[in-house]
A and B are shown apart, each in its own frame.
Chain A
Amino acid sequence: MLALSGLLVWGAGEWAAQSELDNQWDNLRRSSEVQTLALRGVATRYSFLPFTAAQQPLVTALLKAPDSERDRAAANVYLETVNAHAGSDVLYVMDTSGRTVASSNWQSPRSFVHQNYSNRPYFSDALAGLAGRFYGVGKTTGEPGLFASAPVRDGDRVIGVVAVKIDMQPIVATWAQLRDPVFVTDALGIVFLGSVSPWLYKTTRPLAAADVQRVRNEEQYGSDWSPVAVPWTLRQQRDEPGMELALPAGGSRYLALNEALPDLGWTLTLTADSRAVALARQQAWALASLASGLLVLAALYWRLRERHLQENQRARIELEQRVQERTHALQQAQAFRQSMEDALLVGMRARDLQGRIVYVNAAMCEMVGYRADELVGQLPPYPYWHPDDLPRHWQDSEMALAGQAAPQGFESRLRHRDGRDVHTMVYTARLIDGDNRNIGWMSSVVDITAQKRAEEQQQQREAQLQRVQRVITVGEMASTLAHELNQPLAALVNYAAAARALAAQGRTDLLADSLTALSDQALRAADIVGRIRRWVRQQPQSREPCDLNVVVDQSLALLLRAEARRHGIPVQLDLAAGPLCVNADRVLLEQVVLNLGLNALQAMQGAQAAHGSAEPESPPPELLLRTRAEAGHALLEVLDRGPGLPPEIAARLFEPFFTTRAEGLGLGLNICRSIVESMGGELQASNREGGGAVFVIRLPEAPEK
């Protein structure tokens, strides 16, 4: 590339140089023609003047009579007049000896009159009958000039010579206008006229000694002339019309063109500064360099652009590829997300701050039976809200929108479009946008219907088990129940007998009383049966605040007191002064108290049987029921004076099917514990100080009803 452009620059330079050279040569040639013409014009313009003056009778007359002052004067005037008119320098007449007899400048101090110019070639030539021409330095004036001469004839005889001196300075002055040197050499090669005065009268080629002598004799170039070579050299250029003129020591170089003027014996040399060529070359080089630089730049730019374009292209392709990849990845992610969302069993529902649904996933739609487009845009109440739970839905929704939803979620019963109930757990979290602003709420909705059903079934099973256990408890207290029933029945029988007797005696007033009492006892019996029956059959109820003191009373009323009585064991109460409320199912709590009481009684009976009658040092048997509050908990304690709990029994006390009694199922305490735990409490057993066991029911205290 660079080589090419170098070649191009060189070629352009050469071409420009050649072109400039040709141009210069042409100029030189044209200039040479003009200058030749001008030179020849100046040189020949006055050549007729001596010939004309030679024909003048005044001149002839003077020569014939050289001493005639009158003729001389006439001739002088004539010459002066002609010279003035012709514009030549000096016009003068010499006799055959070479002495000037008359001259146009006869009145000037440097008058030629009486001057002898016999050594001049123009004199000798004219004397020989020829027209003489000679350039030389004036002997009188010391100024160079062109001398032309013609013989003055008298018949065939030459009687004198007329000569004219022509000043060449005007033409030299025009040459001085030219930029480059112009000079003229004579036949010997001596520069005698030119625009560069230091070169004058110097030789351009070596002179023969005879020639030097002749020039000196003729005083052509002054009396003290000696040959000195010009400071420059001329060299013929190959394939060029002219030569090269080179100044020494790195001086200028010129193109030089010689134009021979054979009729004058002169050679006109015109020069042109070859710097123009060099300049042209340089300019061309510069241009070409510039051009090629531009070209290179352009090329570089092109290549750069190409590369850039390629890079762009590559980048675009890459970008496209990446976009495609990203799109693909996005699609993948989208598909992944979609399939994940679709696969999610958890319903997702996003709402804006106003509660407007902005998004639901497939699971959510599935869960409630509405399509996404039916749900999106809905404001509360949503179509899937359960009609029986509307106030609760409103409350939950407002809590969630206020950012107060419980982080552990809340249960919500929904109504599927097909009418079935869907039980869900709803967890709500903030929906945050890219600027970390809360723009809504995202809820995850977990279908817990199956779980709920299982729970319900479990609850039902538990309830059944609890009921079975209540039946068993009642069964265990069958004799007590029988006794309890027996009392009103006995009373009833007594009243009946009394009534009969009174009726027989006619004591009607007493009879009526007896009958009233009788029916009271019948009702009482029915009430006992009904109470037990209800208690046994009781379905689990929702929890409600109940007073532990009341629970103790109820438990005692339900057979426990009677059972203790049957065992002959006193029941002691140590109840809290005020109500002690817990959230519980009263029946189940009574069941627990009854069971624990029964166990205590049985334990004490066993102890009595084992030890015989009470030992004096051991505290008397008693069943102590105590209620008290302790650190936010309500406690119901069942204490006995039985044998207590040996470690091996204490460890397994609450295991199912663990029993120390032959007829026991071993479910009592296990069920008791699960009942208490289902109420958020705990049931613990320990040994009582002073002998016996303590069972503690510990439940969270609830505000009073």
Chain B
Amino acid sequence: MTPDTAAHTTSAQVCIVDDDDGVRHSLAALLLAGGHSAHLFASGTEFLQGADLAQPGCVLLDLRMDGMSGLQVFEEMRQRGSVLKVVFLSAHGEVASAVAAVKQGAVDWLEKPCNEHTLLSAVARATELSQADAARARRQHMLRERWNALSPRQQEVARQLATGQSSKEVARTLGLRDPGRPIDPRTVDTHRSAIFLKLDIRSSHELAMLVEELGLTQDI
């Protein structure tokens, strides 16, 4: 999508968060043999503090740890909008937790001890997904910046236009919503030109897709 995607692919990181030294180091050894260099963290806190959550990659996250549990770390990562994809490591009998984690957006879960191929493929897939997400995120970021460049009136107008209304219809809708500030359909047209220019789009359809992509539909 964007020119720097490939570069991001190569710089994908692999993190291992497990409070068990043996498990952590053995995973690192395995990944190293598979060509991955891994960042090792002995606890969730350590990871959240030390890892670059913005850099795409894969996190092998132990579900059961002292201090923050895997799920807590996962939740924190989501909160922070990390692009890292999470593969949970679970022990036998922790299926329920793992399933719940996957539902919340984890890429996968692996039951320890796991097959090396399963592990490596899970890591690869997560990395890919992370990189894709990272690209999407970057685009969204760009779009958000463009959106934020609009004036508030322009954003209002833009949201109405994204629903596919004509300029007249937009003017009426806005006038009804805020009778103190009536707007002329021609003014709407003027705003439309400015919006299309600022957002680098050609059509109302594109505007609709952008608004949806930014998650602004609910605000209409």
Q: Which residues of A contact B (CB under 8 A)?
A: 479, 482-483, 486-495, 497-498, 500-502, 505, 507, 510, 513-514, 517-518, 520-521, 524, 561, 565-566, 568, 570-571
Map CB proximity to A onto B21-38 as digits: 1 under 8 Å, 0 otherwise.
Answer: 011011101101110000
B207 to A: closest C-beta gap in Å? 41
Which A residue's beta carbon lies closest to that of B21?
Answer: A491
Map CB proximity to A onto B110-144 as digits: 1 under 8 Å, 0 otherwise.
Answer: 00111110010000000000000000000000000
B89 to A: closest C-beta gap in Å? 8
Report B-chain residues with C-beta under 8 Å of the C-beta of A482.
Answer: 91-93
Bound-state CA distance A321–B36 (Å) is 119
Which B residue's beta carbon lies closest to that of A571?
Answer: B66
Q: Which of A488, A492, A498, A520 is B33 in contact with, Cβ under 8 Å?
A: A498
Report B-chain residues with C-beta under 8 Å of the C-beta of A514.
Answer: 29, 33
Q: Assuming A486-B113, A565-B65, is B91 touching A494 (CB within 8 A)?
A: no
Bound-state CA distance A493–B64 (Å) is 19
- Whether, in the assembled complex, B20 has its beta carbon less than 8 Å from a beta carbon of chain A, the answer is yes
Interface pair B29/A498, CB less than 8 Å apart:
yes
Looking at B23, B115, B116, the one whose CB has the most chain A CB atoms below 10 A away is B23
Given A487-B22, A490-B26, A494-B26, 19 additional A-B pairs, CB 8 A: A479-B93, A490-B23, A490-B114, A491-B20, A491-B22, A491-B23, A492-B26, A492-B113, A494-B23, A495-B26, A495-B30, A497-B116, A498-B32, A501-B30, A501-B34, A517-B22, A520-B22, A521-B26, A571-B66
Interface pair B116/A501, CB less than 8 Å apart:
yes
- What are 22 residue pairs bridging A and B, where the CB atoms are less than 8 Å apart in the complex? A482-B92, A483-B92, A486-B91, A487-B20, A487-B23, A488-B22, A490-B114, A491-B27, A494-B30, A494-B119, A495-B30, A498-B29, A498-B30, A498-B32, A501-B34, A513-B29, A517-B25, A520-B22, A524-B22, A566-B64, A568-B64, A570-B66
Report A-chain residues with C-beta under 8 Å of the C-beta of B119.
Answer: 494
Interface pair B112/A486, CB less than 8 Å apart:
yes
Bound-state CA distance A493–B32 (Å) is 15
Report B-chain residues with C-beta under 8 Å of the C-beta of A498.
Answer: 26, 29-30, 32-33, 116
Report A-chain residues with C-beta under 8 Å of the C-beta of B112.
Answer: 486-487, 489-490
B123 to A: closest C-beta gap in Å? 13
Q: Which residues of B contact A (CB under 8 A)?
A: 20, 22-23, 25-27, 29-30, 32-34, 64-67, 69, 89, 91-93, 112-116, 119
Looking at B89, B113, B114, the one whose CB has the most chain A CB atoms below 10 A away is B113
Bound-state CA distance A520–B112 (Å) is 18
Bound-state CA distance A663–B106 (Å) is 34
Interface pair B91/A517, CB less than 8 Å apart:
no
Bound-state CA distance A391–B91 (Å) is 57
A522 to B: closest C-beta gap in Å? 10
B184 to A: closest C-beta gap in Å? 51
Interface pair A561/B66, CB less than 8 Å apart:
yes
Looking at B30, B69, B93, B114, the one whose CB has the most chain A CB atoms below 10 A away is B30
Report A-chain residues with C-beta under 8 Å of the C-beta of B20.
Answer: 487, 491
Q: Assuming A487-B22, A521-B22, A570-B66, is B93 touching A497 (CB within 8 A)?
A: no
Q: Which 7 A-B pairs have the closest CB atoms?
A: A494-B26, A490-B112, A501-B33, A491-B22, A493-B113, A497-B116, A490-B113
Bound-state CA distance A487–B34 (Å) is 21
